[in-house]
Amino acid sequence: MEYSYAKRAILRGLSENSRESVTKLAELARCSRLTVKNNLEAIEKEFGIRYTLEFNEEALGIGYRHFIKINLDRPIDDEGLKIFDNDKVAQMVATTEGDFDLLVYAATPTGLAYISWETRLAMLLSEYGAEIRPSQVALFHIGFVELSNELLENINFRRLGLDDTDKKIVMLLNKNSRASFARIANETGINEDTARYRLERIKKAGIIKRFTISLEAPASFNRLAYFVNYKFSKNMEARGKLARNEYQTMDGDLPFVNTYQLLAPTTGAYRFFAVAIGPDREKVFEKGVMLQRNIFKEDFPSVAYAWIKKVIKGNLPIRNIDIKKAYNTVIWGSQPTN
């Protein structure tokens, strides 16, 4: 699967800043503005682009984030999956094929809110013999899951020094992060200069990490979600550095999309969660599960993996960013414990 430099550069530019001007995108892609517009129309038609926001969830007060694998004793049909339709906690739900049957990303402000939600979910899925295994996210090295406006609606923006108009702007940009200042002004009842001022104020509040995009998943991409446990042994950190180097250099100069779309250390049922994608299923498996088994073989990695069949709620983003620049590196031994 080959794509022109211009298409790859346009995707990189929009992934890193979806509000980038066509002129700037033309500079990045080394082509004319007209070529940018034509390539962008082609990408939107072939893959679909969602213009969205990557949030700083902790700054928003969302302190409890979990990736959850769910095993079912019997299949669940579309009617059964409707339990997630009005669920404000489950930000992403996908059906999967492999070691688990459902993948869920849940976000709540408190631990009590999370356990209340999980208990309710367990009751709703009881007729399917559900086994729910949550892993709490410590941070995202790479990637994010889109947050719904239903979740944002319940967040106290005044605690962040922002008001209801600022919240409307954030929710508007969450639906279309490329919305013009004219549109922001029209939909919030303010003028364009005020819209610019307020957006700068929102940026300074630190709740938005990135104005970004997400491609709708085409059939040609295989998405592998996997959870990993380790028995930590001597020199584990050295192997972790080796893995980080692989994550950051796997794609070469400028891929169409990143192989590793999501990398997150977790605690609970598993120590690590990731999503790897690509057109060749065998290669995706090699770069995902087999990389874990090979690099961390001294730590006896236990991997639970499944192929994502369909995202039925929310979105699990696909994009192209500079992983070396964006990778959030944390050395666990250097972190304070109190």
CA gap 304, 301 in Å, rounded: 10
State the pLDDT confidence band at 334, using cuts at 50, 70 and 90.
Answer: low
Average pLDDT over residues 32-48: 92
Average confidence score pLDDT of the chain: 94
pLDDT at 244 over 70: yes
74-110 pLDDT tens trace: 999 999 999 999 999 999 999 999 999 999 999 999 9
pLDDT of residue 3: 86
pLDDT at 217 over 70: no
Count of other CB atoms within 10 angstroms of residue 32: 12
Counting runs of H as helices and runs of E as strands, what totals does the chain give?
A: 12, 10
State the pLDDT confidence band at 216, using cuts at 50, 70 and 90.
Answer: confident
Among residues 257, 324, 311, the alpha carbon closest in space to that of 284 is found at 257
pLDDT of residue 329: 83
pLDDT of residue 220: 77
State the pLDDT confidence band at 213, using cuts at 50, 70 and 90.
Answer: very high
Verdict on whether the full-model pTM lies above 0.75: yes
Residue 231 token pair: 């028995």
Residue 38 token pair: 């034509």
Q: What is the topology classification, in CATH, of domain 219-330?
A: Alpha-Beta Plaits (3.30.70)
Average pLDDT over residues 311-338: 81
pLDDT at 135 over 90: yes
Q: Domain limits of the chain? A: 5-46, 64-137, 155-214, 219-330
Q: Is 276 helix (H, G, I), strand (E, B) or coil?
A: strand
- Stated as kind and residue range, the H or E segment containing 133 is strand 131-137
289-299 pLDDT tens trace: 999 999 999 99
Average pLDDT over residues 229-249: 93
CATH of domain 155-214: 1.10.10.10
pLDDT at 331 over 70: no
DSSP, residue by residue, 78-127: TTGGGGGTT-SSEEEEEEEEES-SEEEEEEESSHHHHHHHHHHHHHHTGG
CATH architecture label of 5-46: Orthogonal Bundle (1.10)
Residues 6+ away with beta carbon under 8 Å from 311: 92, 93, 94, 217
pLDDT of residue 335: 55
- Backbone φ/ψ region at 113: left (φ over 0), alpha (ψ -120 to 50), beta: alpha
Lowest mean pLDDT among 71-85, 111-125, 285-299, 320-334: 320-334
Q: Is 138:264 a contact under the CB 8 Å cutoff? A: yes
Q: Is 308:94 a contact under the CB 8 Å cutoff? A: yes
CATH architecture label of 64-137: 2-Layer Sandwich (3.30)
Asked if 5-46 and 155-214 have one fold, the answer is yes
Average pLDDT over residues 197-210: 97
Planar angle of CA 312, 318, 19, nearest 5 degrees: 115
